Amino acid sequence: WQSLVPRDISMATIRAVGGGDECSGIALARLSEERKAWRKDHPFGFVAKPTTNPDGTMNLMIWDCKIPGKKSTIWEEGLYTLRMYFKEDYPSSPPKCKFEPPLFHPNVYPSGTVCLSLLDEEKDWRAAVTVKQILLGIQELLDSPNIKDPAQADAYTCFIQNRREYEVKVKQQASRFKNPNM
């Protein structure tokens, strides 16, 4: 499996993220490729990068991300912080994506975890889905909630029963997470 790991990842890095078996070697190789692809080309205003372990090594299994609200929507002024948690069997299984802090949104659990069919192995997850596609999908979900799959009762009820109040709350949230580039 070591031949699957790009040369710029040391065995110490693999051990630091809990790797060493075949599954995590494949996950680390794929995530290293994802990182390279992202650094070459990513959507404007988005951020996605592996976290750093306490010892200063890179942790490819947990990424810190920022998703800008789409232009001309109630989300547009915000820059939303999301953390992606990859499992050892990635890309066979999707990452867990969690807004930190949690957002007021029908498809975001109170814990911050995103409820999206693209991130569900029983639904639309495929191993070929990229970090870029995930983040763009989540950005799209922000302004286009899936009311058939609610995850947060308060936001869902507000969205269904009082759209004007929902929009006010989302705009207030956007101003709390103001995008410094706006």
Q: Supply angle C-alpha 153, 83, 137, rounded to 5.
A: 70
Residue type, 57: T
Q: Say how far apart CA 1 and CA 168 lie, in whole Å.
A: 52
| Residues in a beta bridge with 78 | 178
- Let me know: does 135 contact 46? Beta carbons within 8 Å: yes
Alpha carbon of 4 to those of 22, 32, 127, 145: distances in Å?
A: 9, 11, 16, 38
Exactly one of 23, 65, 97, 115 is catalytic; name it: 115
Beta strands in the chain (DSSP E): 47-52, 58-68, 79-85, 96-99
- Let me know: does 104 contact 155? Beta carbons within 8 Å: yes
| Residue 23 annotated among the catalytic residues of the structure | no
| Residues in a beta bridge with 96 | 85
Spatial CA neighbour of 114 closest among 159, 82, 156: 82
Residues serving a catalytic function are 115
